[in-house]
Amino acid sequence: MNIKNCSTALFVKDISVSKDFYINVLEREIVHDFGKNIIFKDGFAIWEIQNEHIIPNKLGIKNINNISINRFELYFESDDIDSVFQKLKLQKVKFIHEIHKEPWGQRTFRFFDPDNHIIEIGESLEIFMNKE
């Protein structure tokens, strides 16, 4: 099969709130902005799906906009996890947990974006692997 992974899309309730979060809180860079569909340099996208689109027509808009279901985690790494954590604390994001050591030894923390998607930030694998 000749396919390639191009992007992961997060369905969001309010594109302007999510756009602000990913640009100003997580400091992500936009590659393409199509209004209700924004693609970031990291290879993921946020998408405010309109009611008339085929996805809510097939799955139901309430299933698309249900922010109580955490079925997805977006993962980032940092060479300076402690300063990233402190910066996000000042932004008053809703944390799932503070920095802790995973069973494999990597330090991570997790929090929610405005649509309740789980965001994980871990220390870069290069830093983690060189500690051992």
Domain boundary, last residue among 66, 91, 111: 66
Beta strands in the chain (DSSP E): 8-11, 30-33, 37-40, 44-47, 73-78, 95-101, 107-112, 118-123
**60 and 75 both lie in a single domain:** no
**73 and 61 both lie in a single domain:** no
The 10s digit of each residue's pLDDT in 73-87 is 888 999 999 999 999
**25 and 78 both lie in a single domain:** no
The 10s digit of each residue's pLDDT in 14-46 is 999 999 999 999 999 999 998 988 999 988 999
**3 and 24 both lie in a single domain:** yes
Note the pTM of the prediction, 2 decimals.
Answer: 0.77
Specify the CATH number for the domain of residue 121: 3.10.180.10
- Are the beta carbons of 38 and 19 closer than 8 angstroms? yes
d(CA 20, CA 69): 22
How many structural domains compose the chain? 2
**28 and 78 both lie in a single domain:** no
Sheet of strand 37-40: strand arrangement: 8-11, 44-47, 37-40, 30-33
Chain centre distance of CA 117: 6
Residue 37's domain comprises 1-66
